[in-house]
Structure 1
Amino acid sequence: MAMVGLFWIAEGDVYVGAKPSGLAAGVRLTPEGVVALGDKQSAFYPWDEVRALTVEDAPVKSLKRQVGVLVDMALTVGLGGSDDAPAMTVRLARPESEETELTAYVAAATGYSQTEHDLSLTLLTHMTKGEATLRTTLAAMAEWGRAREGGSPRAADRERLLREWGGGDPA
């Protein structure tokens, strides 16, 4: 399993945000469509019905955020504070219907780098350009995930992968 930008890639499965377990909310991207997972949002949206896909509320790393995470951990452990996992909103635009909002949990404890955040949003836009683009992109992500061992790559490698998968220059 590895995190690359806003994506969690576990073997051949690609998720937006953290891979859910049990009844937890999550969003999985498959060659057939977007799968909303979890107790309160279980649904399937075929790609031919998805006009746009984006993420809101994804935390971006900052010194203030990193200090806040450390304070929250101290309060949670020491004083019985909240242990709610941070979540982000995945928005699907579909023809002739209102936008659909799905919940995905954040995989990066201190947030995502601004570069990875922006490249991830570009990659999501790239996926909605058409079936050939989508299938090629998801196949490359899944293949990388199946071959990957040892956790998430370093930041520079994550950024390179996001650029490559998004159809941009891998440099």
Structure 2
Amino acid sequence: MAMVGLFWIAEGDVYVGAKPSGSAPGVRLTAEGVLPLGDGQPGFHLWEDVHALTVVDVPAKSLVRQVGAVKDLVLDTVLSLTMAGTPGGPYEAPALMTVRVETPDGERELAAHVAAAAGYSSTEVDLSRALLSRLTEGAATLATTLAAMSEWGRKRDGATPRAAEREELLRSWVG
């Protein structure tokens, strides 16, 4: 599994935001369409019906957010160690972003968890939004782009690449 821009790529699967588990909300991009995941997010949107795909409420990377992420990690570790054996323990769900799917029937808002605790760089956000827009340009573009993302995910060893490599990947997928 690896994060590239606003996408989480696990083996051949592509998600907007973090890959959800259990009943957590998420959005998976398949060759057939946009698949909402989690409780309260029913439906499936075929690509031929998707006119626009955008993401809003994306947290921007900042020094304050980075320091906050480190502080939270330290605090969670300390609490986990001191509360060992406590069922559930301290847990705060990651922030949510909104994935907007525009179809002939109107706009649908879906929730997806943020994968980057410290937020996303403006370059990765812009490239990710351009890539989402590209996916709605037509079947050939969609198939080629999603196939390239999936293939990269299948070959990846699991580690998230550094920022420069993530940006280069996004640029190559945008075309």
Return the alpha-carbon distance in structure 2 between the equivalents of residues 93 and 150 of structure 1.
Answer: 32
Larger Rg: 2
Alignment of 1:55-70 (within 5 A): 55-70=55-70
Match of 1:31 in 2: 31
- CA shift, 1:150, in A, is 3.7
Residues 103-125 of structure 1 deviation map (CA, whole Å, 9 limit, x = unaligned): 00000010111111110001000
Correspondent of 1:95 among 104, 122, 143? 104
The normalised TM-score by structure 1 is: 0.90
Alignment of 1:156-171 (within 5 A): 156-167=164-175
2:16 counterpart residue number: 16
Is the Cα–Cα contact under 8 Å of residues 94 and 117 in structure 2 kept in the other structure? Answer: no
Structure 1 unaligned regions, length at least 5: none
Rounded Cα–Cα distance in structure 2 between residues aligned with 1:109 and 1:102: 20
Q: In structure 2, what residue type is equivalent to 1:105? A: H
Counting matched residue pairs gives: 166
Task: Summarize the alignment of residues 140-159 of structure 1 with structure 2, pairs less than 5 Å apart.
Answer: 140-159=148-167
Partner-residue secondary structure (3-state), 1:121:
helix
Q: For 1:108-127, what aligned pairs fall within 5 Å after superposition?
A: 108-127=116-135
User: Structure 1: which amino acid aligns with 2:132?
Assistant: L
Aligned residues of 2:35 and 2:45 also touching (Cα < 8 A): yes
SS in 1 for 2:44: strand
Distance in 2, Cα, partners of 1:71 & 1:149? 28
Provide structure 2 residue ranges, at least 5 long, that are not aligned to the other structure: 80-88
Is the Cα–Cα contact under 8 Å of residues 27 and 35 in structure 1 kept in the other structure?
yes
CA displacement at 1:68 relative to structure 2: 3.5
1:4 aligned onto 2:4: yes
For the aligned residue pairs, the C-alpha RMSD in angstroms reads 1.8
Q: Structure 2 length as normaliser, TM-score?
A: 0.88
In the aligned structure 2, how far is the partner of 1:91 from the partner of 1:47? Answer: 14
CA distance in 1 between counterparts of 2:67 and 2:161 reads 24
